[in-house]
């Protein structure tokens, strides 16, 4: 078994689970790319490394994917071979490394635009390269970007407590927290109240917007591209279900970590493969215009929350 296969199997992630649907060659290539993503992420998150060592390890991977150094046998060689065999554009992979590098000394995003810029690097760029590796055409790029935003926003909502407690990271935009009267101490102390619920619901609505956008873009793709992207559609179903669980449970992210069991994951993969069940009936993108007037909307919610908390 190759090193990339071992890393992918041991990770037991949602993405790794969906790869079983791919033809053998694409599955092998995606395992190699997934292993690269996993390693880059672990360089930043795993304990026991100095900042200098983390930066040096990321520098090494930049050299590997850009063929500026000789790869060692194992995962380095596999990833370098993936890049050359598929003639991959390494720009998205470089963006991923840059996004992960920013987490070494994390800065809370000030605005939603800042959050989306980060999400583009660590999620949408993964989707762009994944689409290529899975055999989709360049027409799938916008779909990959939108879905990447949606998946990352779900991750951020689900992991609010863990990101703060374990890594000292705050991904919810500072402006949004201020609008709803939520402080960093509220997150640190895991204060679950009306203001916190409204803030998380506000961010969840943004995730819904991107799920909607991704689905609309997916439906416009060719049959060949849609077939190539079945694992991505399965991921959409899995993560949207996680989002729905949080919504139904009123975002009790400080008490539990929301997930989907393997049986349901398999069912979603089958749904994506055979298209026997339509994607959720999201509102059209045009109906999400209120995001352009978020100051007024959020301010009203904040007023209501203050009354409720009194």
Over residues 216-248, the pLDDT tens digits come to: 999 999 999 999 999 999 999 999 999 999 999
Q: What mean pLDDT do residues 48-67 have? A: 97
Over residues 108-141, the pLDDT tens digits come to: 999 999 999 999 999 999 999 999 999 999 999 9
* 166 belongs to a structural domain: yes
pLDDT score, position 198: 98
Query: Does the pLDDT value for residue 21 go beyond 80?
Result: no
Residue numbers of the domain that contains 67? 1-95
Burial class (CB in 10 A: 0-12, 13-18, 19+), 98: middle
Q: How far apart are CA 124 and CA 89, in angstroms?
A: 14
Q: Report residue 99 as tokens.
A: 């996004």
Query: Does the pLDDT value for residue 303 go beyond 90?
Result: no
Q: What mean pLDDT do residues 163-176 have? A: 96
Q: What mean pLDDT do residues 87-95 have? A: 98
Q: Are 134 and 30 contacting, i.e. CB atoms less than 8 angstroms apart?
A: yes
* 110 belongs to a structural domain: yes
Based on the domain organization, do 147 and 61 belong to the same domain? no
Q: What mean pLDDT do residues 64-90 have? A: 96
* 259 belongs to a structural domain: yes
> What torsion, rounded to 10 degrees, do the Cα atoms 124, 214, 169, 290 define?
130
Based on the domain organization, do 115 and 176 belong to the same domain? yes
Over residues 170-180, the pLDDT tens digits come to: 999 999 999 99
Last residue of a domain, one of 39, 68, 95: 95
pTM recorded for the entire structure = 0.86
Q: How far apart are CA 144 and CA 64, in angstroms?
A: 24
Higher pLDDT residue, 245 or 302?
Answer: 245
Number of structural domains the chain divides into: 2
23-37, 87-101, 236-250, 273-287: range with lowest mean pLDDT: 273-287
């Amino acid at each position: 078994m190759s090193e990339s296969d071992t890393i992918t199997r041991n990770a037991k992630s949602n993405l790794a689970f969906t790869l079983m649907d791919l033809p053998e060659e694409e599955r092998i290539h995606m395992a190699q790319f997934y292993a690269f993503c996993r390693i880059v992420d672990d360089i930043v998150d795993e304990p026991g490394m100095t900042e200098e060592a983390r930066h040096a390890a990321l520098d090494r991977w930049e050299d590997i994917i850009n063929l500026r150094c000789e790869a060692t046998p194992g995962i380095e060689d596999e990833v370098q071979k993936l890049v050359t065999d598929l003639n991959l554009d390494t720009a998205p992979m470089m963006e991923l490394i840059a996004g992960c590098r920013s987490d070494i000394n994390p800065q809370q995003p000030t605005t939603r635009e800042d959050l989306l810029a980060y999400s583009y690097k660590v999620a949408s760029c993964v989707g762009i390269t994944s689409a290529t590796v899975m055999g989709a055409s360049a027409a799938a790029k916008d779909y990959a970007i939108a879905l990447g935003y949606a998946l990352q926003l779900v991750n951020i909502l689900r992991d609010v407590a863990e990101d703060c407690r374990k890594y000292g990271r705050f991904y919810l935009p500072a402006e949004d927290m201020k609008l709803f009267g939520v402080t960093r101490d509220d997150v640190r102390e895991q204060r679950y109240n009306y203001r916190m619920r409204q803030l998380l619901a506000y961010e969840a609505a943004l995730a819904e917007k991107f799920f909607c956008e991704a689905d609309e873009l997916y439906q416009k793709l060719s049959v060949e591209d849609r077939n190539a992207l079945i694992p991505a559609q399965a991921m959409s179903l899995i993560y949207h279900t996680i989002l729905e669980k949080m919504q139904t449970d009123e975002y009790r992210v400080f008490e539990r970590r929301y997930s989907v069991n393997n049986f349901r994951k398999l069912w979603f993969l089958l749904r994506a493969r055979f298209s026997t069940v339509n994607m959720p009936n999201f509102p059209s993108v045009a109906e999400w215009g209120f995001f352009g007037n978020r100051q007024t909307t959020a301010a009203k919610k904040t007023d209501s929350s203050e009354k409720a908390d009194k």
